[in-house]
Amino acid sequence: MSQGPIHKDNETSKSADINMRRLKYISLLTLTFQNAILGLSMRYSRTRSGDMFFEGTAVLMAEVAKLVTCAYLVYRSPDEGGKDIQKFAGILYKTIILNKLDTLKVCVPSFIYLIQNNLLYVAAEHLDVATYQITYQLKILTTAIFAVLILKRTLIKTQWFSLVILVFGVVLVQMSDSKETKTEGESREQNRLLGFSSALTACVLSGLAGIYFEKILKGSTVSVWMRNIQLSLLAIPLGIFVSFFKHSEGIREKGFFFGYDIFVFYLIMLNAMGGLLVAVVVKYADNILKGFATSLAIIITCIVSIFLFGFTLSLQFTVGASMVIGSIFLYGYKPKPAGLYPDLKLPTSAK
């Protein structure tokens, strides 16, 4: 008789382990395809024929979509909104208005993320999708550097070595003669230096904003979804300013939603959900799995871009890409104290 409860506990534990493994693999697949599809979609949006939408307005609309999504999640959360309008309004007032100094702290990463997302559109326009995807992995380097400088973290030797490999891999990719074959009707001029500069600046901003945002989250009882509401509420007015600063003449002549179609709205939602998806995925996937997902996304991107954009691989590009993929694995492979890979924890809006 006494074996009954023990047997039941073992079965429950076994079932929980199976569910956890299943969630890990689902997370792996979800993150892999999200990373690959986002890069391909952004590149296609900037190279396809037809009217070109204003990237500043797309970034702004992504923030609106993120605000609505996070507000809904807070509203449904038993610990916050509890599906009660008054309770939901009360927690918004308490978190955003009464704690206004805390809200103002979020202005810094909010503005940085906004500029970063605009720069990623520029990078996607001037770099082929495979080069863009690989170059953007330099955010691992910038995140690590800011973690050491701001949070006083210590990286182990293999991590520093992996970052060196990462840099050399990106340099090889940038110096390779791999390129896309221009499709019929594609006449937009591309500036590889501008694209690389934009991607590199976005990597620096990603690392800075990510570490700053983590520092804000530490010791705070405010939920991740509420923090994202704060980010979006501050990013929206900034986004309006940036949109009209960059595209004022075009918006006045052609309208705010010029060039929008179903694909643009899909891209906006993909951008908005990307960072939120990472926040959920990382709950179930460890560092190695996330590194594997990123590496697999690079491989998928390269393969698909061959057929979709006429991308040609060179030996130098292949070697550089392999070095980047290897460095991602090496950075997350060794056991280390929690928090040495801060970029994994952050539900950012860039990827």
CA dihedral 305→195→33→336, nearest 10 degrees, is 130
List all residues 6 or more positions away from 321 whose beta carbon is below 8 Å from its beta carbon: 130, 134, 169, 173, 298, 302
Nearest C-alpha neighbor of 298 from the set 130, 159, 113, 111: 130
Q: Domain extents for the chain? A: 27-344
pLDDT score for 342:
44
Residue 332: per-residue pLDDT: 74
Q: What is the pLDDT of residue 243?
A: 94
Determine the pLDDT at residue 16: 65
Angstrom distances, CA of residue 230 to CA of 111, 116, 226 = 12, 18, 6
Token pair of 55 as six digits: 């990237």
pLDDT for res 338: 47
Q: How far apart are CA 170 and CA 192, in angstroms?
A: 14
What's the pLDDT score for residue 279?
Answer: 58
> Residues of 229-260 as b/e, b for ≥16 C-beta within 10 angstroms?
bbbbbbbbebbeebbbeebeebbeeeebeebb
pLDDT means over runs of 10, the chain (351 residues):
55 68 72 83 88 93 93 87 85 87 85 92 90 89 90 87 92 81 57 92 91 76 82 92 93 95 94 72 57 77 86 88 88 57 42 43
| Model pLDDT, residue 351 | 43
> Whole-structure pTM over 0.85, yes or no?
no
Q: What value does the CA radius of gyration of the chain take, rounded to a whole number of Å?
A: 21
Phi/psi of residue 179, each to 5°? -160, 165
- Separation between Cα atoms, residue 59 and residue 57, nearest integer Å: 5
